[in-house]
Amino acid sequence: MTTMRQWLTACPLACVIACTIACTTAASAVGGSRADRLATTYAAPVPDAPDYCDPAMWVTCDSDSMGTGADIFYVVSTWEEDWQTADGRTCHYADVWNPQHRDHMGIEINRVAAYMAPGNRFYAPYYRHTTIETFMTQNEDSIHSRTRLPMADVCKAFDIFQSQRDICRPLIIVGFSQGGIAVVELLKHMSDATYGQLAAAYVLGYKVTEADTTSCHRIKPAQGKDDTGVTICYNTVKDVRYAKPVIAASCCCINPVNWHTDSTPAILHDSITVSVDEQHHVLVVSGYSGAEYKPYRDFINVGDIHSCEPWLYSECLQQNMALRAQRWRQAH
């Protein structure tokens, strides 16, 4: 795994110019900077903003030796708890300049890249994600308010990524948990021209609401295994009564094992049955305890198996990303 040093130009001045142009162009393309609008309200104190011209703000991996894969933009989930600043104030955001915080995010990023990067080019920015306590409030207003800043970070990172990549290659965006919120925001943020480059967007362990699909024509729930320009969304529970609305109250769900949106069951790893509950739009699994994911503060992994989302179906996701990228190339 490498940083962005081989991706961005080697000249620091040229890099700064390129990044400035990228952000300005992207802002005008969507009728003003959505990233700036997202950041207008947040809870102080706030760590210093990431500089996405700095390779330290990225994890990347180019494993597409044949030039036939996709560009994957991955957004990591929540890793930090509330923490105290030097002056004793409580901070609700990760600090991307703190090596320990970057190391925490890197655990997930590198593990995901192990199955997403082969045959592709993989890019993941560090960002000031809001802390787990925000989601534990289970208050939609609080979550919306505190996620504005991290979503602005991700949109800025995406603009720079998009300005540097080869737009003749298929684009895949993926996010887990808080990263899933970012995928939805990126679909709202991107231009229609960028959307035309999209093979698929994957919202793992978070929701897509009717309001999302109504407000953004680029959010189109997947209907099968190989449609393109679509959004894949799922949440996994042992029983529907364990689904947490703040995470899983979605208007759509697709089974990543058989790629059905109905209740047709699928068998994973010879012993796990996975099916869609069509009323609640969640995956219900049997034959799998999820015991490796310990309950966290009686909030997640309690009947739901939130922490499994990028891992339980990893082989299915790897194959599906390759298929959708291939279908995009055939169409373009």
Residue 156 counted as domain residue: yes
Give me the pLDDT at residue 1, please: 52
89, two tokens: 């104030």
Q: How confident is the model at residue 9 (pLDDT cuts 50, 70, 90)?
A: very low
Q: With a cut of 50, say whether residue 185 has pLDDT above it.
A: yes
The answer to pTM > 0.75 is yes
Q: How far is residue 142's CA from residue 38's CA, in Å, rounded to a whole number?
A: 14
Q: With a cut of 60, say whether residue 31 has pLDDT above it.
A: no
Residue 291 counted as domain residue: no
Residue 304 counted as domain residue: no
Residue 104 counted as domain residue: yes
Residue 101 counted as domain residue: yes
Residue 59 counted as domain residue: yes
Q: What angle do the packed helices 99-116 and 314-331 form, to 10 degrees?
A: 70
Residue 281 counted as domain residue: no
SS3 category, 190: coil
Rg of the chain, C-alpha, whole Å: 19
Structural domain span for residue 63: 4-237
Q: With a cut of 90, say whether residue 133 has pLDDT above it.
A: yes
Q: With a cut of 60, say whether residue 37 has pLDDT above it.
A: no
Q: With a cut of 60, say whether residue 68 has pLDDT above it.
A: yes
Give me the pLDDT at residue 44, please: 78
Residue 111 counted as domain residue: yes
**What stretches of the chain adopt beta strand conformation (E)?**
58-62, 71-75, 83-84, 90-91, 121-125, 171-176, 198-204, 230-234, 236-237, 266-268, 272-277, 282-286
Question: Domains in the chain: how many in total?
Answer: 1
Any idea of the CA torsion for 115, 198, 215, 32, to the nearest 10 degrees?
Answer: 110
Give me the pLDDT at residue 4, please: 44
